[in-house]
Copies of this chain bind each other. A is one copy, B any other.
């Protein structure tokens, strides 16, 4: 029996299968510092203990997306080592603040399978949950990826395409955000005067700035998340592959866009949900990422007067500023678009 893990192929998955992923990971202040160096985020809640504590946090929490990437990374060896593409996300919810010192583990359940007509690949749908050292859920999300078959002739598992919600309901938001003392929220220190009531559905915000990605950056990030997907690291093999280059982990793009979005959404300090998301096109080292957002919806949270929720479509492009909000073109996307993600963000009222 080989001691090396080949990863699962499409025909190895079964509906209802539970995959308990390897390598629990204690996140600490060093991870937060590295995350800061990788993206330069400036949201005050995650940046400063006293700012967070005055509001009601135990201390500055770990960035939501850092926790997400760590959980995602764990699922790669079991779910997507043989993936051709990471197709989408839904029903992502952040359920508990993650603090330095907390340890995350992850489990995925196979909730859908559908072979593609070419019989070379199939789509695998999993619901992944990240839990802390107490076994309490810290976040969960559905994702689906296109996974190769080992043997195209192998019989496909039964087909089941799960229904996922179009968006997380507002009443399901906020579990990872303690009830805040918003009177203690210092808007000047946070970098913007704009609060919940200042945003309206339909509003579009160009985040203005751009950031160029280097090979070293994205590999440092992806290793920090213990994400082992081969396409991100191995120029020897990728140089002979379909792009001739290492592919940047899609989550790196999400975090880059999120950090850029500070310029316009400085007080939207917490990602409460990932309603949906799609990596529209690959990003490579040397590309410059820009981003813009559209407020899709605003929602109050039942029983909470401290924070409200902005549903935001965040779009990232490569090598194209976003002053004119590039998005769809004909039946597809503008060729510059690399990411189209739909988030619920919490912001003080």
**B-binding residues in A (CB < 8 A):** 3-5, 20, 22-26, 28-34, 36-40, 42-44, 47-51, 60, 77, 101, 103, 105, 133, 188-192, 194, 198-199, 205-212, 214-217, 219-224, 226-228, 230, 233-237, 246, 263-266, 286, 288, 290, 319, 321
Contact = CB atoms under 8 A, between A and B. Distances in A.
3 tightest A-B CB contacts, nearest first: A30-B33, A22-B191, A40-B223
Given A23-B42, A77-B191, A191-B22, A288 B234 contact: yes
Given A24-B44, A223-B40, A264-B3, A212 B235 contact: yes
Copies in the complex: 3
Given A212-B236, A233-B212, A236-B212, A49 B26 contact: yes
A224 B42 CA distance: 10
A22 B4 contact: no
A50 B230 CA distance: 29
14 contacts: A22-B44, A23-B47, A24-B47, A30-B33, A38-B223, A40-B224, A49-B101, A210-B230, A210-B233, A210-B236, A210-B237, A212-B219, A214-B215, A216-B220
B60 A26 contact: yes
A120 to B, nearest CB: 22
Contacts of A219: 211-212, 214, 217
A261 to B, nearest CB: 10
Contacts of A3: 192, 194, 198-199, 205, 264-265
B42 A226 contact: yes
A297 B319 CA distance: 51
Contact of A192 (B5, B43, B206): B5
A246 B28 contact: no
A25 B45 CA distance: 10
A233 B216 contact: no
A44 B23 CA distance: 5
Contacts of A49: 26, 101, 103, 133
Given A29-B29, A33-B31, A48-B103, A20 B208 contact: no
Contacts of A22: 42, 44, 188-192, 266
B38 A220 contact: yes
